[in-house]
Amino acid sequence: MKKICSAILIVLILGAWCGVALADALDQGREMARSGQLNAAAEFFNRYVQGHPDDKKLTPEALAWNGRILDAMADFLTGEAEKKCYWGREKARSPECMQREADTLNAKYGTGAFQYEHAVLFIYYTGSHYRQIISQFAKSGFAPEAEFYLLLHNLSGHPDVVLPKIKAFLSKYPKGDWHRRGLLLWARANEDIWFIHRKWSWVIYNDQVAPEELMIRAEPYRQEALKTYQQLMKDKDTFEGNAAAREYAALSASQDDNVVYSIVNDSSPGTLAAWGVSAPPQMPAQTREQRKGTSSNP
């Protein structure tokens, strides 16, 4: 009997050890990300992806963490590049210097991960790791996150172009967390359209549109947003339900939340943290005064 119990105990210990070993492969990176060590976390996940390119279990998660972190760091990385190119001793003051900084990031995190946009002096994250998830790990549990991220950052244009994209996402994910996030996006996009119609309109005849006409064109979108917020509010214990309650209260009083998530070129969908996804909050670039005497490693 003792031998049987000892054998069972050994099996349980070995099984637990193996389970921990598998579960902990990304734990160090997760902990660094959650504690705010974003540079170190991004490098950790990047190394894991490079060392395990075909790991269907953990590589999709590592790619997703890279996407979350690098998106959240874009402002900070742009600020560090500006510090070197415009405020440093050499004072290069040239687009070529900023482009070199973007190239350096791409050498570390993969071709096309970052792109420098000279018109706005910004180095932005392109979502390349999410595209890799879709192309290489389309059946993984992180594919919906990847699709949602890329959808968020591809929503500028006429409502007749933008809204069908969100509808397609909702159809692909008809229930669960990602359906709720899609509904929140649907509501916010309709609120955006209401705001823009109310202010400007999409088509101006004879260089003038009466304010009353703008309000008439805008109202159906406000009503659609309100209806969708009400639907989400039924799940009051969810992130989306809480967000919907706040935004419904403002919109029902014909007030907006001062954020344009979609439609216009300078829209700001925010990081995935703004949509209830476990992601680092956006790291803002430091001011010139804040940078004096500080480290470049967040």
Please give the structure tokens belonging to residue 147: 């699709």
Q: How many CB atoms lie within 10 A of CB 204?
A: 9
Per-residue pLDDT at 289 = 44
Residue 47 has pLDDT above 60, yes or no: yes
Rounded CA separation 90/249 (Å): 52
pLDDT in tens, 99-140: 999 999 999 999 999 999 988 889 999 999 999 999 999 999
Averaged pLDDT, 78-94? 77
Would you state the pLDDT for residue 22? 46
Model confidence pLDDT, tens digit, residues 155-191: 998 899 999 999 999 999 999 999 999 999 999 999 9
The whole-number average pLDDT for the span 70-88 is: 88
Flag whether pLDDT at 204 surpasses 70: no
Mean pLDDT of 236-247: 95
What confidence category does residue 90 fall into, taking pLDDT thresholds of 50, 70 and 90?
Answer: low
The burial of 166, by beta-carbon neighbours within 10 Å (0-12 exposed, 13-18 middle, 19 or more buried), is given as buried
Question: What is the reported pTM?
Answer: 0.82
One-letter identity of residue 238? T
